[in-house]
Amino acid sequence: MAAVFPFSAIVGQDEMKLALLIASVDPSVGGVLIFGDRGTGKSTAVRALAALLPTMRAVVGCPYGCDPAKVAGLCGACDGTAGKPAAASKSKAAIAAKPAAGPRSHAVPVPVVDLPLGATEDRVVGALDLERALAHGQKAFEPGLLARANRGFLYIDEANLLEDHLVDLLLDVAASGENVVEREGLSIRHPARFVLVGSGNPEEGELRPQLLDRFGLSVEVKTPTDLPTRIEVVRRRDTFERDPAAFIAAWEKEDAKLRRRLTAARGHLAEVEVPDRVLEQAAALCMALGTDGLRGELTLMRSARALAAFEGDRAVDDSHLKRVAAPALRHRLRRNPLEDAGSASRIERAIAEHFGA
């Protein structure tokens, strides 16, 4: 495994980093779409996120990495493995409400699965195990990337270059949380809850509007234009390449700090209050912008709550809403697809009107 550029060493691109962190605090926010200029560290950020995330507990031997606290899920593999009481599972990451007896579990890194271009459908959804089919004529299921991404992240670089039928499939699974395989005589379903992270460059072609809406947050990244930032980008990259180990070590403290905040945020996410007034504000904002459906409000509320949890606040207030409004709503505006003076400024205007800022 190649050395990974530390998350906290990424210069600028605050909105992108924030969106990824929000999604890791509360995966129910939905996916993150990162669109923008080349060379702005989109893949770097996602790969860095993998190294940043705290570990999670998973059932030993489960191909889907099921949560030992919630084995009543869909995974058939785990239902049968109930047995020994979990030993030495006093890790912070373990869920407090864990039953005393459960399947054997261990700490594993949160999966951040890369969906490479050129991946075939059989590897994505899982398929007939070719080896056993060819050699023994047996019908066996070989889990695919969706299984591996369960409870983690699935990253698609150049999402707009991925074939349409694969994108449709991913979105469907991401929305339903389970993967249903009906192919080659197999009939299998397994849990597949993951945060979809897509990135791309709009110049290569755009995503279909109905797909845009399925992503929770949408971030636009731009090449920094001021010299000091650019120098810092190049310098850090250069330092990293000269000696990755030393660079990672130097930033490990920052990363660890961030990791602790993430863990803490997840812990008290459920306690963060969302006052009615804030909900009203969110709804009013969405109405003013004319977003379709309720997904906008929901995402706005969830991401504001996740942000509040991440900041260590007890309740959501306007400042949280303001910060997440653009990424949560940007891609939901009903708009003339050609209007350039884009969504960001419209959202800003609406925020200014609503919060009297």
Partner 1 sequence: MPGPAQVPRTAVPGQAGVSSPDGAPARPAARSPWADSMDALALFAVDPHGLGGVLLRARAGPVRDRWLHALREALPPSAPVRRVPLQIGDGRLLGGLDLAATLNAGRPVAERGLLAEVDGGVALVAMAERIETGVAAKIAAALDHGEIRIERDGFSTLLPTRFGVVALDESAHDDESVPATLVERLAFLVDLGDLPLREAIEPPPDRECVAAARERLPSVLLDDALLEALCATALALGVDSPRTTIAAVRAARAAAALDGRDHVVEADATLAARLVLAPRATRMPADPETEAEAEPPPEDPPPPPPPEDARDEDPPPDDDMPADDRPLDDRVLDAVKAAIPGGLLALLQAGLQPKSARSAGGRSGAMQRGQRRGRPAGSRPGDPRSGQRLALVDTLRAAAPWQPLRRRERERQASSAGGASRAGRIDVRRDDFRVQRYRERAQTTTIFAVDASGSQALNRLAEAKGAVELLLADCYVRRDQVALIAFRGPGAEIMLPPTRSLTRAKRSLAGLPGGGGTPLAAGIDASRVLADSVRRKGDSAVLIMITDGRGNLARDGRPDRERAQADALQAANELRLCGVQALLIDTGPRPQPAAEKIATAMGARYLALPYADSAALSGAVKQVVASETGTARPRPGRAP
C-alpha to C-alpha distances, 237 to 5, 160, 249, nearest whole angstrom: 8, 27, 15
| Nearer of residues 254 and 348 to partner 1, judged by Cβ | 254
Q: How far apart are CA 61 and CA 80, in angstroms?
A: 11
Q: Is 266 exposed, middle or buried (0-12, 13-18, 19+ CB in 10 A)?
A: buried
| Nearer of residues 204 and 353 to partner 1, judged by Cβ | 204
Taking the alpha carbons of 349, 353, 354, 356 in that order, is the dihedral positive or negative? Answer: positive
| Segment 236-241 long-range contacts (CB within 8 Å, at least 24 positions apart) | 236/9, 236/11, 237/5, 240/3, 240/5, 240/9
Amino acid identity at 92: K
Helix (H) or strand (E) holding 113: strand 112-114
Longest CA span, the chain: 71
Nearest approach in angstroms of CB 4 to partner 1 is 10
Nearest approach in angstroms of CB 290 to partner 1 is 17
Q: How far apart are CA 286 and CA 298, in angstroms?
A: 10
Q: Is 39 exposed, middle or buried (0-12, 13-18, 19+ CB in 10 A)?
A: exposed
Of the residues 57, 151, 295, 346, only one is catalytic, namely: 295
Nearest approach in angstroms of CB 200 to partner 1 is 10
| Nearer of residues 13 and 281 to partner 1, judged by Cβ | 13
Q: What spatial distance separates the first Cα and last Cα of the chain, rounded to whole Å?
A: 48
| Nearer of residues 92 and 139 to partner 1, judged by Cβ | 139
Nearest approach in angstroms of CB 47 to partner 1 is 8
Number of neighbours of residue 335 by Cβ within 10 angstroms: 14
Nearest approach in angstroms of CB 50 to partner 1 is 13
Nearest approach in angstroms of CB 259 to partner 1 is 18
Contact 221, 37 (CB under 8 A): yes
Is 335 annotated in the active site? Answer: no
| Nearer of residues 178 and 206 to partner 1, judged by Cβ | 206
Q: How far apart are CA 29 and CA 328, in angstroms?
A: 9
| Nearer of residues 239 and 263 to partner 1, judged by Cβ | 239
User: What does the chain come to in residues?
Assistant: 357
| Nearer of residues 30 and 152 to partner 1, judged by Cβ | 152
Nearest approach in angstroms of CB 41 to partner 1 is 8
Active site residues: 295
